[in-house]
Every structure is written in C-alpha cells, then in structure tokens.
Amino acid sequence: MEVLETIPSRLEARVTAAVAWVNKERGHQFEVTGLVDVETALGRRDDEAIQLGLVLCDGELCTREQVQIEPLESGFRFSFAEVAEREIPPLLDPPEGVRSKWLDSVLEKHEFVLLLFYRGLW
C-alpha cells in the first residue's frame, strides 16, 4: 500500500470536504498529510461513490480515517468506513505501554536511543 502525499486535482474537492467533515465529527483541526487507496478512487467516475484513506495530523495526533464519499447534487455525503485489517492502523502510534517497554529494554543495552517518528509511525 502506498501513501500519496499530493492530492490529485480530480480529488481535491472531495478530500477538502471530507477533512472538514472529519474535523466536525471528531472535534479536531486535522490537516490531510496523505491519501491511501487513491488508485481505486481515481478509477471511478466522478458521479460514483469512493472510499479513501485519509492520513490526518493536528500537530499532536496523527490518525488514519477511512471515509466513504458519495457525490450529491449539492455536495457530498460522508460516512466512516471500516476496514478488516489495515496496513496503517487508525491511530498511528503503538498501543499504550508498548513503546516504554521496548524503550526500557533497548536503553539497557545502549547509552542512548534515537527515535525517528515519521507520519505517526515509529
């Protein structure tokens, strides 16, 4: 699965409206930092519903939301879509406790550890 960082012009209106809807639903001020499932969405006609994985960040929290986008005469209708198993999890951070346990075991072996945090993945 590839994360696309540039929004294709054909999907800009849908993505912008979807992010605004997610922000309203979740009570955050997310910005889109990437898209997943773009190839499938681009293969659909403009009058067909699509599903997109939105990689969103608000400065502190990064998340992935799978959104169903249905075109209407006056805009779009949105809903959250579930995915059986995701390569990129919905919350882009390890489960609570996992990171500190791992970090403690690595620090026992080394003087310092450099953590690289990229788009919510560590």
Which tens digit of pLDDT belongs to each residue from 45-66? 999 999 999 988 886 677 889 9
76 CB-near residues (< 8 Å, 6+ apart): 14, 17, 18, 21, 69, 70
Q: Is the pTM of this model over 0.85?
A: no
Per-residue pLDDT, 106? 80
Token code pair at residue 107: 């620090």
The residue ranking higher by pLDDT, 44 or 103, is: 44
Which tens digit of pLDDT belongs to each residue from 88-119? 555 555 545 556 676 788 888 888 888 776 65
Element (H, E) at 98: helix 98-107
pLDDT band at 83 (very low <50, low <70, confident <90, very high): low
pLDDT band at 5 (very low <50, low <70, confident <90, very high): confident
12 CB-near residues (< 8 Å, 6+ apart): none
Token code pair at residue 69: 């986008």
Looking up tokens 């075109």 gives: 71
Domain extents in the chain: 9-91, 92-122
Token code pair at residue 61: 């929290």
- Percent of the chain with pLDDT strictly greater than 70: 76
Cα 1 to Cα 40: distance, rounded to the nearest angstrom: 12
Cα 18 to Cα 26: distance, rounded to the nearest angstrom: 12
Q: Does 28 have pLDDT greater than 70? A: yes
Per-residue pLDDT, 95? 46
Q: How does the average pLDDT of the chain come out, rounded?
A: 82
Cα 55 to Cα 31: distance, rounded to the nearest angstrom: 8
Per-residue pLDDT, 18? 97
